């Protein structure tokens, strides 16, 4: 056992569909120290989202099965702890930020209603009590933390009344409501324009630093990794093929897969040679 906030050891996950079993994760190892910014990067289907769901305890059983491995949060064994404790951790100690603001927000309730409800359930799980007024104060405070100019107006708004960037910031605010120690973001901002995405990434980086959080950033975009994280795990076909500090890994990738992945990214300086990607598949 390490001093990591979250550690994943030799995690295996199988999916069974139509009586066929697919090995989707084949022995994942990850360590997320407190206050660290860690990226999990890989191409479509490599198993990033499944890893995230396994950590959050959101895999749908019996379709998905953890067949081997261990996971520890703050030294506590996630796979053997009672369901009630597991549920209490989710959304409180570890929080998630989803990719698509439109599908994760309910169009018929105001942002304020949705956030107050989330807070109420988080409080209940933690055995905490707060009056309705105190909840509103907390929600407005967090909306301010994600740099909303007018938290009161956002509180009263329906999702449709906000821009894409504002909705993404609402999702970040929701994840921060119960002061988690670990934030897991699955492709945040990929649905947004590049100027808005840059702001969201900067906001996440600032928040993580200000609030001393640990961040697990899940993405297929190597540029996003380099902008936001100091350590990176590269995933391919259900295994971690390489990991290291962002600076080292980008400067001197060791594995052919990582080399090819980095080479395939077009460069803003215009010296990309297409045709170097044969090693990939």
Partner 1 sequence: MIRPVLEVIDLCKSFPVRSPFGRLTGEVKAVNNVSFSIGRGKVYGLAGESGSGKSTIARMIMGLTPPTSGDILLDGEDIGSTGGSPAHRRKVQMVFQNPGSSLNPRRSVSQSITVPLHANGLPRADRARRVTELLDMVQLPASYAERYPHELSGGQKQRVAIARALAVAPKLLVLDEPTSALDVSVQAKVIDLLVDLGRQLDLTFLFISHDLSLMRNFAEKVGVLYLGSLVETGRTSVVFENPRHDYTRLLLASVPVVSAEEEAMRPRIPLIDGEIPTAEQLLALRKAGGGEA
Question: If binding is defined by CB under 6 A, does position 36 make contact with ligand ATP?
Answer: no
Instruction: Please state, in angstroms and rounded to a whole number, the distance separating the CA atoms of residues 230 and 242.
Output: 15
Shortest distance (Å) from residue 33 CB to ligand ATP: 23
Instruction: Please state, in angstroms and rounded to a whole number, the distance separating the CA atoms of residues 150 and 29.
Output: 42
Spell out the residues 6+ positions from residue 139 whose beta carbon is closer than 8 angstroms to its own: 112, 115, 116, 119, 155, 173, 177
What are the beta bridge partners of residue 21? 16
Subset of residues 191 to 210 that bind Mg ion, contact rule: CB under 5 A = none
Question: If binding is defined by CB under 6 A, does position 50 make contact with ligand ATP?
Answer: yes
Shortest distance (Å) from residue 198 CB to ligand ATP: 16
Instruction: Please state, in angstroms and rounded to a whole number, the distance separating the CA atoms of residues 101 and 19.
Output: 34
Shortest distance (Å) from residue 71 CB to partner 1: 28
Q: Which is nearer to Mg ion, 48 or 135 (CB)?
A: 48
Question: If binding is defined by CB under 8 A, does position 268 make contact with partner 1?
Answer: yes
Subset of residues 64 to 123 that bind partner 1, contact rule: CB under 8 A = none
Of 208, 191, 180, which is closest to residue 38 (Cα–Cα)? 208
CA distances from 149 to 47, 142, 170, 172 (A): 37, 12, 12, 15
Q: Which of 7, 42, 228, 249 binds ligand ATP (CB under 6 A)?
A: 42
Subset of residues 157 to 216 that bind partner 1, contact rule: CB under 8 A = 163-165, 169, 192-199, 201-203
Burial category of 225 from C-beta neighbours within 10 Å (exposed 0-12, middle 13-18, buried 19 and up): buried
Question: If binding is defined by CB under 8 A, does position 148 make contact with partner 1?
Answer: yes
Q: Where do contacts with Mg ion occur on this chain (CB under 5 A)?
A: 48-49
Q: Where do contacts with partner 1 occur on this chain (CB under 8 A)?
A: 43-44, 147-149, 163-165, 169, 192-199, 201-203, 220-224, 226-227, 250, 260-262, 264-272, 274-277, 280-281
């Amino acid at each position: 056992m390490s001093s990591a906030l979250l550690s994943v050891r030799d995690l295996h996950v199988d999916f069974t569909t139509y009586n066929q079993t697919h090995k989707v994760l084949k022995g994942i190892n990850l360590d997320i120290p407190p206050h660290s910014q860690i990226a999990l990067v890989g191409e479509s289907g490599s198993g990033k989202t499944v890893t995230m769901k396994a950590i959050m305890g959101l895999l749908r059983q019996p379709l998905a099965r953890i067949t081997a491995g261990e996971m520890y949060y703050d030294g506590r064994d996630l796979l053997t702890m009672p369901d009630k404790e597991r549920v209490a951790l989710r959304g409180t100690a570890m929080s998630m930020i989803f990719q698509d603001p439109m599908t994760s927000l309910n169009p018929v309730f105001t942002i304020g209603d949705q956030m107050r409800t989330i807070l109420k359930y988080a409080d209940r799980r933690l055995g905490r009590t707060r009056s309705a007024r105190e909840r509103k104060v907390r929600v407005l405070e967090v909306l301010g933390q994600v740099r909303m100019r007018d938290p009161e107006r956002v509180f009263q708004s329906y999702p449709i009344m906000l821009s894409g960037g504002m909705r993404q910031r609402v999702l970040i605010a929701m994840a921060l409501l119960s002061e988690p120690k670990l934030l897991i973001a699955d492709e945040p901002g990929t649905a947004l324009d590049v100027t808005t995405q840059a702001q969201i990434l900067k906001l996440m980086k600032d928040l993580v630093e200000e609030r001393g959080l640990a961040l697990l950033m899940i993405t297929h975009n190597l540029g996003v990794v380099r902008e936001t994280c100091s350590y990176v795990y590269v995933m391919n076909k259900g295994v971690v093929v390489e990991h290291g500090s962002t600076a080292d890994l980008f400067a001197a990738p060791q594995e052919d897969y990582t080399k090819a992945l980095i080479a395939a990214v077009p460069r803003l300086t215009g010296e990309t040679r297409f045709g170097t990607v044969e090693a990939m598949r």
